[in-house]
Chains A and B, each alone.
Chain A
Amino acid sequence: MIAGKAAISRPRVWRRLWRDECGVVAVAVAVLLPVLIGFAGLGVEVGMWFWIQRQNQSAADAAAISAALEYAEGAATNSTAAAAAAANYNLFSISPPNTLTVSLCYGPTNGPSCNPSSSNGAQPNAVQVVLTQPLNTTFANLVTAIWGPNINTVTITTKAIAAIWPSAACPTAADPVPADNGTPPSNCVSLAL
């Protein structure tokens, strides 16, 4: 009759345990803690993407200035190497899978990129640098896997365009701020973002 006795008392134990509210928060917290930590991790991870994007934007700007100076000196073929050096100095690694692309174009324009073809056959007057950096995800991967295709890579892309100003707009010792198109930078290469 041991089996029968157990069959009678077991539901009572469970019922009592179910009604007993002591320690229920501890259980709830234990269950929710991985979720809490997961979301905190997701927040940190997404924060890092934006931080890296910010750093890379600085690197892209410096690379564009360097490439434009190289181009302005008449060494267009070396402008990719010059851009890579400047990006490297600003903590952007140019080794794969990261990429750095330098292109000559006509600008600056107000659009998101400068025009790759000329309307009047003039020389390109701007240099565009595009940096990409793929990042492997951890928490974003876990969270997106809940509802469908998971995001295991996020690519941070930054772009900068440096335009070469006409020499008339260049400041000289005699004329430090030429009155031409607003305020030119202190040499003939300016940043247009």
Chain B
Amino acid sequence: MINILRRSLRALNDARDRGAVAIEFALLMAFLPLTVLIFGIVDYGEIMVQATNLSAIVRGAAEYARGQFIQNNGALPTANEIETVLNVPGGVLSISSFCTCANNTPVACPAAGAANSCPGGRIHTYVAVSGSQAYTPLVSGTWPFPPSVNARTVLRTQ
């Protein structure tokens, strides 16, 4: 490595010291994993920003969906509606609801106003909102960064 640098420096000119350090550093940047380190830091920052944004979107969507779900007697808003209300790009969110008994065993959600089969008639209803957004890192396709950022929030409505 040092020989390569020495030869390349000698080949440049005889005004030896001027800019030599900068040139050596530039050559090292090309050869060593420093580039990977720096782009990795940029990628990491970028993915954190995206993940934070997505988690905020999903969080807001879940709270909106929960309110709508309660107000409309168990009718879920569509993902499209939430995306429009929150003014976020389409195709990111998906929404569902599920029910468990008070002892956390899964149970089919009864129709609005209908009785349920849980012990004591006590049922928990949840609204789940998931979000997924594709992400293309600068350093590599899959490692160490995932190809997409994901978030999920589950809120209980009843």
Contacts and interface: CB of A to CB of B under 8 A. Distances in A.
Nearest to A189: B156
B1 A23 contact: yes
A85 B100 contact: yes
Interface size class of B (residues with CB under 8 A): 35 or more
Given A22-B6, A91-B152, A176 B71 contact: yes
Contacts of A33: 32-34
Contacts, number: 98
Interface stretch (B21-29, B78-86, B87-95, B110-118): B21-29
A86 B156 contact: yes
Given A40-B37, A82-B124, A25 B24 contact: yes
Interface residues of A, number: 38
A85 B153 contact: no
22 contacts: A21-B16, A22-B9, A22-B20, A23-B1, A25-B25, A26-B24, A26-B28, A36-B37, A44-B44, A62-B153, A65-B156, A66-B124, A69-B124, A73-B122, A86-B154, A86-B156, A89-B126, A89-B154, A91-B152, A186-B71, A187-B70, A187-B157
Interface of A: 21-26, 29, 33, 36-37, 40, 43-44, 47, 51, 54-55, 58, 62, 65-66, 69-70, 73, 75, 78, 81-82, 85-86, 89-91, 171, 176, 185-187
